[in-house]
Amino acid sequence: MKKIKLAHLYPKLLNIYGDKGNVLALKCRCEWRGIEIEIDEINIGDSISEHDIYFIGGGQDLQQIEVSKELERHKEFLTQERDRMAVFLGICGGYQLMGHYYQPHNGERLNGISLLDAYTIAGDKRFIGNVTVKTDLTDNGTLVGFENHSGLTYLQGETEPIGTVLIGNGNNGKDMTEGARYKNVFGTYLHGSFLPKNPQFADYLIELAIGSKPEPLDDKIETLTHSSLINKKY
């Protein structure tokens, strides 16, 4: 089994609500299967080389300004990585920067790197609470998590949602979509952190990265956690 290389983008700036837990979930779920995984933290000023998986967490508008400027330096390379089907996962603020732009309430529009055909505009209301999503991407058909964002994200072109909101707001609280996917680039508003509560989605990302379905794990605790959150409002 080949070694998986994961790049954790800007963890010192975009790691709100423990989004680093997503990297830990992928690390554990690989190591529990004997799949070697190397995790490289990429910070401001660092160069970026080829990786199998790229992860970027969420953050406040202020931190997004700095990361937006830095990401522009890597836009061409990361677009090439997307087009060779590398796996990306962006959470909330990181997700927003994977689209064309994020227009915060105050101040300049932040440029994204357009890995997703999507754009985000800050709304008047902050969406905070539990979210349940119906999805075709996992056998159990659901994704759960926690949202806290004022950004309203709209999808265009061939960029599809990762699911339909059953509880909560998702991308914009209007079209009942949540998250986005184009090729192997995924974005979601679900914090929690997301992957530990959605082990089947974590394994789907690993499958895309290694090119084969990973052997099943004993997910009793993860499944109990996931089930306890389905349709949970508060």
Q: What's the rounded Cα separation, in Å, for the pair 149 and 164?
A: 18
* Candidate list 4, 6, 7, 16; residue touching ligand GLN; CB under 6 A: 16
Of the residues 49, 60, 228, 231, which one makes contact with ligand GLN according to CB under 6 A: 60
In whole angstroms, give the CA distance from residue 105 to residue 121.
8
The interface with ligand GLN within residues 75-94 (CB under 6 A) comprises 92-93
Q: Which residue lies nearer to ligand GLN by CB, 94 or 161?
A: 94
Question: Who contacts 204 (Cβ-Cβ below 8 Å, separation ≥6)?
Answer: 137, 138
The token pair that represents 119 in the structure block? 């754009």
Sequence-distant (6+) residues with CB within 8 A of 12 are 43, 44
Per CB under 6 A, the segment of 81-89, 149-157, 180-188, 223-231 that binds ligand GLN is: 149-157
In degrees and rounded to multiples of 5, residue 228 shows phi and psi of -70, -15
Task: By CB under 6 A, tell whether 148 contacts ligand GLN.
Answer: yes
In whole angstroms, the minimum distance from the beta carbon of 104 to ligand GLN comes to: 7
Candidate list 8, 30, 51, 92, residue with the active-site label: 92
Q: Is 92 a catalytic residue?
A: yes
Of the candidates 51, 149, 191, 226, the residue annotated as catalytic is 191
Transcribe 124-190 into DSSP letters. EEEEEEEEEEE-SSSTT-EEEEEEEEEEEEEE-TT-B-SEEEEES-TTTSSS-EE-EEETTEEEE--
- Under 8 Å between Cβ of 59 and 15: yes
Q: Which amino acid is at 60?
A: Q
Q: Exactly one of 151, 163, 192, 214 binds ligand GLN (CB under 6 A); which one?
A: 151
The answer to whether 28 is a known catalytic residue is no
Q: Which is nearer to ligand GLN, 58 or 170 (CB)?
A: 58
Q: Rounded to 10 degrees, what is the CA torsion of 133, 61, 234, 119?
A: -20
Amino acid in position 182? Y
Work out whether 149 is an interface residue with ligand GLN (CB under 6 A).
yes
Q: Does residue 161 bind ligand GLN (CB under 6 A)?
A: no
Taking CB under 6 A as the rule, does residue 103 contact ligand GLN? no
Establish if 61 lies at the interface with ligand GLN (CB under 6 A): yes
Q: Determine, following the binding rule CB under 6 A, whether residue 199 of this chain makes contact with ligand GLN.
A: no
Q: By rule CB under 6 A, what count of residues binds ligand GLN?
A: 12
CB of 16 to ligand GLN, least distance (A): 5
- CB nearer to ligand GLN: give 22 or 64: 64
Question: What is the distance between the alpha carbons of residues 43 and 39, in angstroms, rounded to a whole number?
Answer: 13
d(CA 117, CA 174) in angstroms, rounded, equals: 18
User: Active-site positions?
Assistant: 92, 191
Binding residues for ligand GLN, rule: CB under 6 A, are 16, 58-61, 64, 92-93, 148-151
